[in-house]
Structure 1
Amino acid sequence: MRQSIKFTKNFYFIATVVFLIWMLFFDSNDFYSQYQLKNKVEELEDQKAYYQDKIKDTEADREALLNDAELLEKFAREKYYMKKDGEEVFVVVEE
């Protein structure tokens, strides 16, 4: 018992315990901050994967539009309401 009391009164033991407590709970890089940063990185990686899939889809659509004149005309008419000379375009808005 006396030996454990001597051990806890040792300067190096006390300094090490204080240092560990400081690093684990009070430092700017404590466990909670590291956990939050890890979650943020995972979220950003998920977003990156989502946007990379969207880019692939868009590139495929672009290639299809550049290679097919009929599809390009359909896209222009539907998306940008373009028309040929002498045509009238009616836009129906649903409520």
Structure 2
Amino acid sequence: MEQLKRIGRYILQKFSKIQLAIIVVLIICCFVIGDSNIFSRFGYDLEIHNLKTQIEYYQEKTETDKRKLNELRSDKDNIEKFARENYLMKREDEEVFIIE
């Protein structure tokens, strides 16, 4: 606590009160005014977090889609199953009933 008082006295001896006020105002302006103010920084950090979450989601989705694609390419039965489920395709001798 004593050191803080000593530092405060030193600063008051070195600078006038007007100079200190100008310095404080300039520092506040740097944090509040401009493109890189503190509020914009918080907004940018939130946006970065959201984008990283989206990147993780799409990477997982890409991996699952790659696995599905490999399954479809590997076996003819998988292609037939996929076509039946997603495009409602059927064989010539059967009927398809859609239940929702």
Shorter-chain TM-score bucket reads 0.7 to 0.9
Task: Give the C-alpha shift of residue 83 in structure 1.
Answer: 0.8
Q: Tell me how far apart the structure 2 counterparts of residues 92 and 52 of structure 1 sit (CA, whole Å).
A: 33
CA root-mean-square deviation: 2.1
Q: List alignment gaps of at least 5 residues for structure 1.
A: none
Q: Does 1:32 align with 2:39?
A: yes
- TM, length-normalised to structure 1: 0.80
Q: Does 1:7 align with 2:28?
A: no
Q: List alignment gaps of at least 5 residues for structure 2.
A: 1-8
1:70 alignment partner in structure 2: 77
Q: Tell me how far apart the structure 1 counterparts of residues 95 and 12 of structure 2 sit (CA, whole Å).
A: 95
Q: What are the Cα deviations for residues 12-54 of structure 1, in whole angstroms up to 9, with x where unaligned?
A: x443322111111222321111011111101101110110110
- TM, length-normalised to structure 2: 0.77
Percent of aligned positions with the same letter in both sequences? 28
* AA in 2 matched with 1:7: S
1:88 alignment partner in structure 2: 95
Q: What are the Cα deviations for residues 51-89 of structure 1, in whole angstroms up to 9, with x where unaligned?
A: 011001101100101111111111111111101123221
Q: Tell me how far apart the structure 1 counterparts of residues 91 and 41 of structure 2 sit (CA, whole Å).
A: 60
Secondary structure at the aligned position of 1:88 is classed as coil
Query: How many residues end up aligned between the 2 structures?
Result: 90
Runs of 4+ residues deviating >3 angstroms: none
2:86 alignment partner in structure 1: 79
Q: Tell me how far apart the structure 1 counterparts of residues 26 and 34 of structure 2 sit (CA, whole Å).
A: 10
